[in-house]
Structure 1
Amino acid sequence: MELSVQTLEGKAAGKVELADDVFGLEPRADILHRMVRYQQLKKMAGTHETKGRSDIRGTTKKFVRQKGSGGARHGNRKVPQFRGGGRAFGPVTRSHAISLPKKVRALALKLALSSKAKAGDLVILDKAEAKEPKTAQLKKSFGALGFDNALIIGGAELDENFARAARNIPHIDVLPAQGINVYDILRRNKLVLTKAALESLEARFS
């Protein structure tokens, strides 16, 4: 697959050949769904917790007589029936993360890249750099290129001026090459890869 390379000014900067085994696969919704679920569950804090019976301070001595009180035969103040008692089967601190084989995760990333390429939403940028961190100027360039909702992937290190200028623009995400992930690719309409990011991906999957 061959794609044209653009500059931030909207000018042509040559062409690049994309690997078919990375950008030419047939998208599979089931694999992408598994990967997004894996990412979302791994991100959950899991710090919600309530107090159970063992966490409540209270007497375990039988506090009413067996007969004649008109109530049930309770023998513990810490049970869930009473105000201030422990909760039965309440949430506890735990990890929500699930396991997913490394090969499946790698395949999911390839499928996400392929889905953008097949839909025509993959753009190759010469470089993501700015002379000064001016949001208005960068927003104007993005408007001319049609980047109203996009994920931009730079090289191993992001240009600081470009990253600062882009972080105030709504619906625009900028990540270094090692931060590329399936969830962020799918949540944005366009995927913009710099030539440095493309080289990094090819080295990663070679």
Structure 2
Amino acid sequence: MKAKVQTLDGKAAKSDVDLNDAVFGIEPRADILHRVVTWQLESRRGTARGARERSDVARTGKKFGKQKGGGTARHGDRRAPIFIGGGKAHGPRVRDFNPSLNKKIRTLGLKMALSSKAKDGKLVVLDNLDIKDAKTKSLKGQLEQFGFAGRALFIDGSDAANEAFKKASANLIGIDTLPAIGANVYDILRADTLVLTRAGIEQLEARFNG
């Protein structure tokens, strides 16, 4: 599969790029994508710190008052929630939000997310993300030539996204940047347009082949 390569100036690059059909030509399946997105969102949830309830508090269980004649309610021990130092009534409990998902399914889901953007015509390939000055105003003018509608996700090839581009786009609404190593199904599907650099494509294909 061939893709047209453009520059940030909106011009066509000197040559096109070949997209690996094993990565960008897979037929997407909604059930696989749903499983991966659910796993990803569940994995990032944090659990509450568990509170000690009545059975967890180490206090005496000895009856501390008379059964009658005290003028107060009758209690068996000091672990009751109404006493200072007693157990918490209906307190937060530690919950497990880390469901397991086969690595093969996670890999397949990422390939399908990339393929879905290529299939829908929402994949843009840029030569690179190099800009002269890390200025938001100048970058905004360059990106307006592409006419991105909604949210656009830029994925570069280095371990860290192009710092100048990242800095210039930080205040632009709807523009997100990620390194190729951080590409994930949720962010790709969430974006209306996926923008990959040549280096980003090479890194992603190498990631699957490796």
Q: How would you bin the TM-score normalised by the shorter chain?
A: 0.7 to 0.9
- Are residue 177 (structure 1) and residue 168 (structure 2) matched? no
Cα distance in 2 between the residues matched to 1:69 and 1:187: 65
Cα distance in 1 between the residues matched to 2:71 and 2:22: 76
- Are residue 188 (structure 1) and residue 185 (structure 2) matched? no
Cα offset, 1:184, TM superposition: 0.9
More moved, 120-129 vs 46-55: 46-55
Aligned pairs (5 A) from 1:67-106: 74-80=75-81, 82=82, 85-88=86-89, 90-93=91-94, 95-106=96-107
Cα offset, 1:6, TM superposition: 1.0
More moved, 50-59 vs 127-136: 50-59
TM-score, normalised by the number of residues in structure 2:
0.86
Q: Say how many residue pairs are matched.
A: 205
Cα offset, 1:170, TM superposition: 1.5
Aligned pairs (5 A) from 1:1-206: 1-13=1-13, 14-54=15-55, 56=57, 59-66=60-67, 74-80=75-81, 82=82, 85-88=86-89, 90-93=91-94, 95-147=96-148, 148-156=150-158, 157-206=160-209
CA gap of 1:72–1:25, structure 2 versus 1, over 3 A, is farther
Cα distance in 2 between the residues matched to 1:88 and 1:122: 53
Is the CA contact 1:153–1:174 (under 8 Å) kept in the aligned structure 2? yes
Counterpart amino acid of residue 32 in structure 2: I
CA gap of 1:141–1:83, structure 2 versus 1, over 3 A, is farther
Cα offset, 1:59, TM superposition: 4.5
Counterpart amino acid of residue 90 in structure 1: G
Give ranges in structure 2 of 5+ residues lacking alignment.
none
Cα distance in 2 between the residues matched to 1:79 and 1:40: 38
Counterpart amino acid of residue 138 in structure 2: Q
Q: Percent identity?
A: 53
1:1-28: per-residue Cα shift (whole Å, max 9, x none)? 2221111111111322222221122211
Is the CA contact 2:48–2:92 (under 8 Å) kept in the aligned structure 1? no
